């Protein structure tokens, strides 16, 4: 591959690079951060990367916003972008908002019950609970590992 071809390849796939980086960053944050709120933030980044993927997919070279004029006299020469991915992503965004709201409300409840939103502390608290169960009900008890 020549230099220009490599350049073409890198720039021509810019949206995919962005998608991959954002997706991996989000996923990493979900896995690596112990703070429950940060996990939700990571999850949001992860979802947003998918939104970007879809939106960039809907772009047509030289296309304009896919809105027909009010008088419905459509000029066949005008190229419109593909509106379908946008519509799909509108739905996915709503799902994402619902997930975030639910996640945050769960965090509030966890904070009230456990007194912390750090995963490590919660694991300790749960391990103590599991040990208590174990003591009260005998024998090995799997618990959360």
Q: Which residues would be at the binding site for another protein (CB under 8 A)?
A: 23, 27, 30, 36, 39, 43, 46-47, 50, 53-54, 57, 65, 67, 70, 84-85, 88, 90-92, 94-95, 98-99, 101-110, 112-114, 122, 126, 129, 133-134, 136-142, 144
Nearest-approach distance from CB 79 to another protein, in angstroms: 16
Nearest-approach distance from CB 44 to another protein, in angstroms: 10
Nearest-approach distance from CB 57 to another protein, in angstroms: 6
Write the DSSP symbol of residue 134. H
Output 67 or 77, the one with its CB closest to another protein. Answer: 67
Instruction: Please give the full DSSP string across 72-112, using - where no structure is assigned.
Output: ----TT--B---HHHHHHHHHHHHHHHHHHHHHHHHHHHHH
CA angle (71 as vertex; 67, 74 as ends), nearest 5: 55
Q: Quickly count: other Cβ atoms within 10 Å of residue 140's Cβ.
A: 6
Output 81 or 114, the one with its CB closest to another protein. Answer: 114
Lookup: tokens for 84: 């379908």
CA angle (90 as vertex; 86, 92 as ends), nearest 5: 110
CA angle (56 as vertex; 51, 59 as ends), nearest 5: 135
Output 4 or 52, the one with its CB closest to another protein. Answer: 52
Output 4 or 137, the one with its CB closest to another protein. Answer: 137
Nearest-approach distance from CB 19 to another protein, in angstroms: 9
Nearest-approach distance from CB 4 to another protein, in angstroms: 24
Question: Which residue's structure tokens are 């990367």?
Answer: 49
Output 3 or 61, the one with its CB closest to another protein. Answer: 61
Separation of alpha carbons 87 and 91, rounded Å: 7
């Amino acid at each position: 591959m020549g230099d220009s071809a490599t350049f073409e390849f890198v720039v021509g796939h810019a949206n995919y690079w962005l998608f991959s980086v954002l997706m991996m960053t989000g996923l990493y944050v979900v896995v690596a951060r112990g703070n429950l709120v940060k996990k939700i933030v990571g999850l949001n980044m992860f979802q947003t990367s998918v939104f970007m993927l879809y939106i960039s997919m809907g772009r047509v070279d030289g296309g304009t916003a896919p809105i027909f004029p009010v008088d419905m006299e459509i000029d066949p020469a005008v190229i419109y972008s593909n509106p379908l991915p946008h519509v799909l992503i509108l739905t996915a965004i709503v799902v994402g908002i619902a997930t975030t709201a639910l996640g945050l409300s769960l965090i509030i409840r966890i904070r009230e019950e456990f007194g912390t939103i750090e995963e490590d502390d919660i694991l300790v608290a749960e391990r103590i609970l599991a040990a208590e169960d174990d003591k009260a009900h005998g024998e090995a008890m799997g618990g959360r590992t």
